[in-house]
Structure 1
Amino acid sequence: MRRIRVAHVITRMCKGGAQENTFHTVRLANRERFEVDLISGYTAPGEPSMEDAVRAAGIEIVRVASLVRNPSPLRDLRAYGELTRIFAQRKYDIVHTHTSKAGYLGRIAAAKARVPIIVHTPHGHVFFGYFNAALTALYTMLERNVARKSDRLIELTRRGVEQHLAEGVGTAEQWTSIFSGIDLAPFTAAIEHRDATRTKLGIGRDDFVVGGVGRLEPVKGFSYFVQAAHIVAESLPNARFVLAGDGAERKSLESEAKSLGLRIQFLGIRDDVSELMAAMDVCVVPSLNEGMGRVILEAGAAGTPVVATNVGGIPEVLIETKTGLLVRPRDETGIASAVLSLAADPAQRERLGGAAREHAQQFSIARMVEQIESLYETLIREKRLDA
């Protein structure tokens, strides 16, 4: 049985769920069986990056400088050519692409280079919440076409698979679902530091902390978090709010939250997300579109109940009334009502938090990597690469 050469391709290694998923899949690969490379473009200046963590893990990034997130015909053509050359020279057995841009260019390059096995994980979809109708239609058409070059397509949840099939992307035989795993250890450890973290944030023992973590972009719905915060603040004098993350909407959100004064903190990009999660009484995930919602599992691993919107794959990782509460998207009143119900019922918060912590254990990164490599082995047998 020979070692199988695998390339993981992603546009950039900024901080995000898709990037963490890809990083851990490379980091925890079975090196006796797989020889794994990580291929990526550069993280944009000022963008929070995972590249230090990648280097610290001893992983070298194979650079494709022209691989960028935004559409750029000249750069995209160069990236296609560069990827094709790399795939052919390094003679990969498997090319596994991640996210839309790297997924499109990487798959057509892998097909051109005659890579035996092509796998793609979109990490969600762009069917709504990202672009206008014309661009969405164009990207959907491209996804339909390039799906034909894929041996397998991996979504994070069954609901994600159904949404792709409803848009005509791939066939049922091509699709499978493998969750995006999380590193449970730091969130479990953070529980012990809860009081110290709250003190550092200037939050009192009796304050009720409502938090959110994520990119401050329209699709993440944090405007509804801020609107809900105003409602909660009126009814709950000891309510405090924290938002960790950065993005295009930060300034507008800060302006919208101005009347809350010191009761809300915009923390920016943080390296202590696990501690922040444990310091919260409730974590709010107000997304308009979400592939899975890793932040829900991270909050759960820290024992923090979640209020989240019923979109995308979220209902598959949040068990309604058992590990958290679901609300409609774009509904600040619904968010506020759910938060206030938890504030009024400490026993329910404790019950939900305990169940969420137990539920999160089945979403470990080790289990995720096992499932991905099991899929590889199935494809290796189908293609008779060990013959």
Structure 2
Amino acid sequence: MTPVSSHSPHGQPSLRTVQVLGGGNAGSSAHVRSLSSGLVARGVRVTVCAPLEADHLYDFKGAGAEHVHVPRSSDPASVAALRAACADADLVHAHGLHASFRSVLALSGRRTPLVVTWHDRAHAEGARAHLVRLLERRVVRNASVVLGTTSALVDRARRTGARDARLAAVAPPRPRRTPEHDDPDRLTGKARAELGATGRPLLIAVGALERHRGYDVLLDAARAWRALDPAPLVVIAGEGPLRAELQRRIEDEALPVRLIGRRDDVTDLLAAADVALLPSRWEARSVLAQEALHARVPLVATETGGVPELVGDAAELVPYGDSGALADAVVRLLGDPARRDLLRERGVRQAATWPTEDETVAQVLSVYDELTQPRPMI
């Protein structure tokens, strides 16, 4: 890969972009880290505006970008900090609804092009759902281009009033590797022993403990797995407001489920699993689904949102909310090694169809060029 010069073909200084993150979504944060690295390698100057903890986790400075701490808030001080960071930007690229809304506020009165990427749908109910729709409308009507990571998100942006909505190329996140990965059997054995899954099947789910993740349905399904010999262990990696409620159910119903909190070794845990579980009410480009297929771990997921488009025939898909269908799919997989092997092979083929990092950066750069290059005189 040959970096571009520090000047554009029109003799102007190299493009300066500001990437804006809310910091609450692992998929969007990993995407911005990858995108920043690719843009910097091509001579683009990149500033990432995100909470400090996001830079600690994803090391935007290590990708060659400047990092500016902007809290995940729309209060006047945060908006003012973002406005200052965007003062001399050629283009601002915001990721997620809340980061996009703050960017709209920060760019008010300026003609700086705004690109918005929707990585997922905001999950809200009642009065808050109405507020989310108002925020979405405000954002898409002020964005020059809206990129959606799934066809459903592109359609939603168009229905909401986007003047230009396109399907985004998004490369899967890179798994984090340590020297232990050179001995995968030892790594797997260590993870299974730590979780208490020696001599029994291990089922893994990953994601914040929030209502839309469908963990209530997963616990319903786990009741059926108690009768298996040996009973599978379900491990849920994530933290959130439902922890106390879920833990009470696990204890009251003696379910074979462990809540292990937020983890930074999800790749290792997933590699040790017999089956990965995605019981969500709605998902876009699920990071768990992508990591499972890459790791050759059979996946059982709900047939919702962008999941079918993402996984194709490389996963067992069940209706959302149907705990019986979820339980049955897992039982069938655990009893059918040939089916598990087939899903592993299909997963490798499906993952090969996903965009590469180079393709992702190339698409984004083409959008930036459209919005920033001088138009020829007629």
Q: TM-score interval w.r.t. the shorter chain?
A: 0.7 to 0.9
Cα distance in 2 for partners of 1:367, 1:191 equals 30
Cα distance in 1 for partners of 2:268, 2:161 equals 39
Q: Among the aligned pairs, what percent are the same residue?
A: 25
- Out of 329, 335, 350, the position equivalent to 1:344 is 335
Cα distance in 2 for partners of 1:55, 1:182 equals 14
Structure 1, unmatched stretches of 5+, are 44-48, 69-74
Query: What letter is aligned with 2:277?
Result: V
Cα distance in 2 for partners of 1:316, 1:218 equals 23
Partner of 1:252: 245
Answering whether residue 27 of structure 2 is matched by residue 17 of structure 1, we say: yes
- Out of 317, 325, 346, the position equivalent to 1:326 is 317
Deviates more, 1:224-233 or 1:343-352: 224-233
SS of equivalent residue, structure 1 residue 113: coil
The alpha carbon displacement at 1:185 in A equals 6.8
The answer to whether the 8 Å contact 1:40/1:61 transfers is yes
Cα distance in 1 for partners of 2:283, 2:260 equals 22
SS of equivalent residue, structure 1 residue 27: helix
Cα distance in 1 for partners of 2:176, 2:330 equals 27
Q: After superposition, where does 1:48-197 map in structure 2 within 5 Å?
A: 51-54=56-59, 57=62, 59-65=65-71, 67-68=72-73, 76-88=75-87, 91-115=88-112, 117-126=113-122, 130-166=123-159, 168-171=160-163, 173-179=164-170, 181-184=172-175, 186=177, 192=185, 193-197=187-191
Number of residues of Structure 1 aligned to a counterpart in Structure 2? 360
- Out of 363, 376, 380, the position equivalent to 2:368 is 376
Cα distance in 2 for partners of 1:244, 1:80 equals 33
Offset from partner CA, 1:264-298 (integer Å, 9 cap, x none): 32221212111111111111101112222121010
Partner of 1:72: none
Answering whether residue 217 of structure 2 is matched by residue 237 of structure 1, we say: no
The alpha carbon displacement at 1:262 in A equals 8.3
Query: What letter is aligned with 1:371?
Result: Q
The answer to whether the 8 Å contact 1:190/1:275 transfers is no
Query: What letter is aligned with 1:339?
Result: V
SS of equivalent residue, structure 2 residue 226: helix
Residues 170 and 263 of structure 1: is their aligned pair in 2 closer, same or farther, counting only changes over 3 Å? same
The alpha carbon displacement at 1:36 in A equals 0.3
Cα distance in 2 for partners of 1:164, 1:32 equals 30
SS of equivalent residue, structure 1 residue 225: helix
Q: After superposition, where does 1:259-298 map in structure 2 within 5 Å?
A: 263-298=256-291
The alpha carbon displacement at 1:372 in A equals 2.2
Cα distance in 2 for partners of 1:378, 1:184 equals 32
Normalised TM-score (structure 2) = 0.86
Answering whether residue 324 of structure 2 is matched by residue 313 of structure 1, we say: no
- Out of 18, 25, 30, the position equivalent to 1:7 is 18
- Superposed CA RMSD in Å reads 2.6
Residues 165 and 360 of structure 1: is their aligned pair in 2 closer, same or farther, counting only changes over 3 Å? same
The alpha carbon displacement at 1:235 in A equals 3.6
Query: What letter is aligned with 1:36?
Result: V
- Out of 190, 201, 214, the position equivalent to 1:208 is 201
Normalised TM-score (structure 1) = 0.84
The alpha carbon displacement at 1:42 in A equals 4.7
Residues 264 and 50 of structure 1: is their aligned pair in 2 closer, same or farther, counting only changes over 3 Å? farther
Query: What letter is aligned with 2:120?
Result: G
Cα distance in 2 for partners of 1:212, 1:154 equals 28
The alpha carbon displacement at 1:248 in A equals 1.0
